[in-house]
Structure 1
Amino acid sequence: MRLLACGDRALLAEFATQAGVLGALAAWQDAPPGVLELVPAARTVLVRVDPGVLGLGHLEHWLTTTPRAEAALPVGAEVTIPVRYDGEDLATVAQAWACSPDEVVDRHSASEWVCAFVGFAPGFPYLVPADGAAALPPVARRSTSRTTVPTGAVALAAEYCGIYPRSSPGGWQLIGTTDAVLWDAARADPALVTPGTRVRFARVVP
């Protein structure tokens, strides 16, 4: 782990792997007074503090001395997402996994996922298999991005599964669609899925 100062109110922790980020989130959930927010990304965690309560020196000491385990996962809420497995790229994913489209559906819906971080668009979750990155093979992005991906599209790229909260361009492989509302600014918690949330996909039969 490498720590970088971001002004006098935050430290950015850099990791070599996504598992390192998840292990840090799990270890740092019981934060001391003064820690305002943990903001994870693919290889980093930004830790924001109130400098009047916790200085960066004390924050660095806490971050570096708190034991971390890459196998650990943050504890979060559990959400079930209904999915119609009607994605245009289902056959492409099946070819990449050397299996049938039905097997892609079975493997995807049988897996438990955890939200590693949120980005790209408000409410867009980057999900990884809760039982390890080797649970499902990585999937290459499309060589050419689509100009429009529909709201609710469930998609795969690299080691991640994502859900498009609104229509937008995108280059991920589309395997299904959901009617779940991923982002609603009128809700008390606008994002349905946040870092640490456990997600399961339930197949909807047309």
Structure 2
Amino acid sequence: MIVCLISIFLTYSYTYAIVGEYSGIVKTEAYYYGSRADIIYKVQYNLKKWGYFKGEIDGIYGYQTYTAVKSFQSKNGLKADGIIGDRTLAALGLATKAVSSSSSNNTNNQNVDLLARLINGEARGEPYEGQVAVGAVVLNRVRNPEFPSTVAGVIYQPGAFTAIVDGQINAKIEPNSIKAARDALNGWDPSGGAIYYYNPAKTTNKWIWSRPLIKIIGKHRFCR
């Protein structure tokens, strides 16, 4: 009997050690009704693109987002509970990688990816300096109290960037876009502090022409 108890104790201790060793490495996060997070902007964007969501992309997991998530889950063979977990994120094309880094590092990686996609969609074919400048404009807005305070919030602000409207943010990403995003996040600002930019050959917005010009890089004019 004593031998049996010792055996059980040793088995339990070994199992606990294994679980304890790895439990802190793989962390999953789920998002519920009422959540506010950068990933919610991306969820709303994809749901809107596919016709499930009709509301405003605001990064807040409200009722319209909840019903859209449940509808999406139901149509894609997932448990329709309205909880945005790993399987739902994967079905939305937003699969997350399990990493052992801190949450701040994970946020930084998400910012690089999203900013690179925005640069890719807005400034492919532009001089490299101009690509970094587009990224810098996003970051200048993040620091400006008149705009949302996160990279995702600025990028997905309704009507802010053509690449969101026409879907170019999903275009095949080029290596330079990733490098430009990192340079912008590391503090390089070729725009000179601009919070707006436009291509005069394409814009139909008369208001943007009234903004004070800072500099011209490639086809883009950067302004205050």
- TM, length-normalised to structure 2: 0.30
- Higher alpha-carbon Rg: 2
- TM, length-normalised to structure 1: 0.32
Q: Which has the higher strand share?
A: 1
Q: Which has the higher helix share?
A: 2
